[in-house]
Structure 1
Amino acid sequence: MSTPNPYQRKKRWKYLLLIFAVIIASSSLLYTQYLVKNIAKSERTRAQVWAITMKQILSTDDNDQLNYFFEVRDSLTVPALVTDEKGDFKFQRGLDTNKTFIPTQGITELAGKKKYDLAYFQGELSIMKDQHRPIKIKVPESFGGYWLVYYKDSLLLTELRIFPYIQLTIIAVFLVVAYTAFSSARKSEQNQVWVGLAKETAHQLGTPISSLLAWIELLKDKFDAEDDPLIAEMANDVQRLEIVADRFSKIGSKPVLEPHSVYAVVKDFMDYFKVRVSDKISFELNGNPQFMASLNVPLFAWVVENLLKNAVNAIEGKGSIKVNINSSKTKNLIYIDVIDTGKGIARSKFKTVFRPGYTTRKRGWGLGLSLTKRMVENYHNGQIFVKDSELGKGTTFRIILKKVKDDQPTAA
């Protein structure tokens, strides 16, 4: 059983935290709904009691009983409206007194000579009908036979319904802000560590590289081997070490971009690289040498190196690697496709392969494609993504760069 890489472990922790957050949110919502249900049931009971008092007020002549019923009626805190069977308003309780009375026309009379805003009451009645079924009470025939009591949720119940959503929204915003702040601080700290490590590595490599160059010159002089191909290849490898050291020294600094032929940069590294891998893997480069882009050659050569090495590692046994360089006819862009016949990438992993720590190799660090993406997008203002892949058949990585205008000077 393989050990999960750091990215997979981090992903699992994220899922666990997400599940825990969902459980907390669900528990809060369920408990609030439980309280809302009980309060709604209590308000329904109070509305029914109030409806009964209305019936008794209309049916009794006993002053003592009337006083009691009036006290019960006036104690109701739930907003309510009473209509007859025709829908004419008869009584209201707990509504906004600032909106009930109007001084002009367009009025209806509910009790005595009070004038009410009919439109306001109709709006409130519509809300009450949507929230609760009416309570039907029988009244004397002189009052119409029966009345309907409508009521709506109290302000407390309304606020309680929306409170958990407001609470969860505030918590979510706080968590997002906190996560963003901590993540940004952590990334900044990690970047500083990596930059310091990279520059120190470049500094440490400087002395042995200089010594190796000197030893190569001594070998040429001692054995009169100025044209010896083995020493020439040795010199090429030391020059590669110089380039690697130069790359590390540039990490954390803003690279200088100059117009270069994309074809020439890719060809230069491919010629060096292909003689150092298995002869079972063939290489092919297609494109127009005139396609120019703003490049930092050491860093972009690193991009090409990472993609070619990734392609070689994906090929088990015999295979081929092809690099096609094309230009968009409608847009000012250059497309660089690196195509291999390796084992392929699952579609679900198209974005994951660029995450730090993700690797399918036992000894891999999972940094190659992550650094490649950073160098293309952050340093060269381009794009890189998995254009296409099929398990067992191969993968195509695509880089998109802006083409240098024809009137712009180019580097030699």
Structure 2
Amino acid sequence: MLKSFDIYSQNNVMKIVVALNLLLVGTGSLLFTKRIINRLEAREEQYMRLYAKALAYAIETADNNENLNFIVTGIIETNENNAIPAIYADEHLEPAQCRNIEFPDNMTGEEKHTYLKEQIQEMRKNHPPIVVDLKDGEKGLIYYNNSLLLKQLSYFPFALLAILSALAVLAYLSFSSSRRAEQNRVWVGLAKETAHQLGTPLSSLLAWVDYMRTDPDHYEAEVTDEIEKDVQRLETITARFSSIGSIPTLTDENLDEVVTQFTNYLARRISTKVKMSVESNLPTTLMVRINRLLFEWVIENICKNAVDAMAGVGELRLRLLPLPNDEVAIDITDTGKGMSKSSMSKVFSPGYSTKKRGWGLGLTLAKRIVEEYHNGRLYVKSSEIGKGTTFRIVLNREPGALPDVPVVRKKRPSLLTLRGPKKMS
């Protein structure tokens, strides 16, 4: 039964604490701000009702219209909170007086009158008018809007949310960066230590190979040669681990030749039921700057992952092709079980694996080598459940036009499917 695990999936207590604190601070601030806004709105409404009562009383005691206009103007202008925009109008919505209304520049008297009527319509949407009881059953109306202070305060929750969101993003990036740095230190330390530990037995094995060559009567030369190849392979692996954490040296290599030679080696050490092939649409003279040891490791990890996905039976195709923008690609396609979209998004995560045995580090290493050391890209180009998966490696090449390659130059599955041991050492 397949299983998935992630050795880094344990909850980070600090992240949870920070997230909860941000949530509590944000929720408390929003509730407190909302409470203040409601109180200020109620207070401004209370002011306006008080003005309406004062205005009604003044009108009842006024002797004439001239005194009435003077009183109306005085009441509005002596408004304790004179930042509240207010308009006094009659029953027919004809404005008589206004306060704290900002008119556009260069308006005529008639244009100002029209503008006030438009403002009355806007104010009616925000607050119901305050009724002013006049003489003989007539009524006046006071329309008002929120003060500038209250408007600014109403935007505060949105500003607070933006600030808290920015803090949350910064906290996440900080934790993620710290976690990646910690993982990198672990990776580099583990790689260096592995290379160091392999050094001693490798020296011993090389000595045994030399000893076996001195006694050809007891040890067949072919067996000794194969042992020496595997010891050399271990030396290559040790060199790879030593390169992790250091800036690798990139040299101009013939990508076609590198891939072909390594897959020839690889085909002898995987299941004989896997048919491998290499197709190339690249010019024979094309050179790409890579670190050969590390790049072969990338090919190996992807191919071994593909063989596991096919359970040791199927077809593995490697295709080299040019891309626009001075890039080349290597597509590695298997006929395995394929991946779901969720698996595609996690396949390069450290520790993710769908195998019962394995650490889930091969593809993570491959991606790091391609993207951090070769400034390229490695991703899942396509995958379909039950049909297979295609990984794509993209590398930069020297700028310039490439000569046309009208036909695929190589397709040699017979060369690459020689029989040998079923598994790599």
* TM-score (structure 1 length as normaliser): 0.80
Match of 1:134 among 116, 129, 148: 129
The aligned counterpart of 1:306 is 301
Match of 1:261 among 254, 258, 279: 254
Q: Distance in 1 between matches of 2:396 and 2:103?
A: 68
**Offset at 1:83?**
2.4
**Offset at 1:298?**
0.5
CA 1:101 to 1:198, structure 2 compared with 1: closer, same or farther past 3 Å?
closer
Structure 1 residue runs of 5 or longer lacking an equivalent are 110-115
Q: Distance in 2 between matches of 1:349 and 1:12?
A: 26
- Which one is further off, 217-226 or 383-392? 217-226
Deviations 1:128-173 (A, max 9, x none): 34422333434347xx944331111234533432222222322222
For residues 8-407 of structure 1, what are the structure 2 equivalents within 5 Å?
A: 8-9=9-10, 25=26, 29=30, 32-33=33-34, 36-37=37-38, 39-61=40-62, 74-75=79-80, 78-85=84-91, 87-93=93-99, 95=100, 106=107, 108=109, 125=120, 128-140=123-135, 145-223=138-216, 228-288=221-281, 290=284, 291-328=286-323, 330-404=324-398
Deviations 1:105-131 (A, max 9, x none): 74659xxxxxx9779867865653442
Q: Distance in 1 between matches of 2:103 and 2:334?
A: 78
In structure 2, the residue corresponding to 1:223 is in which secondary structure? coil
Does the Cα contact within 8 Å between 1:139 and 1:147 map onto a contact in 2?
yes
Residue identity (%): 39
**Offset at 1:88?**
4.4
CA 1:368 to 1:243, structure 2 compared with 1: closer, same or farther past 3 Å?
same
Aligned-pair RMSD on alpha carbons? 3.9
Q: Distance in 2 between matches of 1:75 and 1:129?
A: 22
- Which one is further off, 14-23 or 386-395? 14-23
Does the Cα contact within 8 Å between 1:335 and 1:401 map onto a contact in 2?
yes
In structure 2, the residue corresponding to 1:50 is in which secondary structure? helix
The aligned counterpart of 1:113 is none
In structure 2, the residue corresponding to 1:350 is in which secondary structure? helix
CA 1:3 to 1:346, structure 2 compared with 1: closer, same or farther past 3 Å?
closer
Q: Distance in 1 between matches of 2:247 and 2:225?
A: 33
Does the Cα contact within 8 Å between 1:259 and 1:404 map onto a contact in 2?
no
- Which one is further off, 313-322 or 184-193? 184-193
Whichever residue aligns with residue 204 of structure 1, its letter is Q
CA 1:71 to 1:346, structure 2 compared with 1: closer, same or farther past 3 Å?
closer
Q: Distance in 1 between matches of 2:104 and 2:55?
A: 22
Structure 2 residue runs of 5 or longer lacking an equivalent are 403-425
Q: Distance in 2 between matches of 1:245 and 1:30?
A: 61
Q: Distance in 1 between matches of 2:11 and 2:321?
A: 38
**Offset at 1:175?**
3.1
Residues matched between the structures, number: 391
Whichever residue aligns with residue 7 of structure 2, its letter is P
CA 1:339 to 1:23, structure 2 compared with 1: closer, same or farther past 3 Å?
farther
Deviations 1:192-249 (A, max 9, x none): 3432332232222222212212211221221258973332222221111111111111
Does the Cα contact within 8 Å between 1:53 and 1:72 map onto a contact in 2?
no
- Which one is further off, 233-242 or 116-125? 116-125
Whichever residue aligns with residue 208 of structure 1, its letter is P
Does the Cα contact within 8 Å between 1:321 and 1:340 map onto a contact in 2?
yes
Q: Distance in 2 between matches of 1:220 and 1:20?
A: 70
Q: Distance in 1 between matches of 2:390 and 2:151?
A: 57
CA 1:374 to 1:122, structure 2 compared with 1: closer, same or farther past 3 Å?
farther
Does the Cα contact within 8 Å between 1:321 and 1:338 map onto a contact in 2?
yes
Deviations 1:292-326 (A, max 9, x none): 31110001001001100110111125211111111
Q: Distance in 1 between matches of 2:16 and 2:254?
A: 45
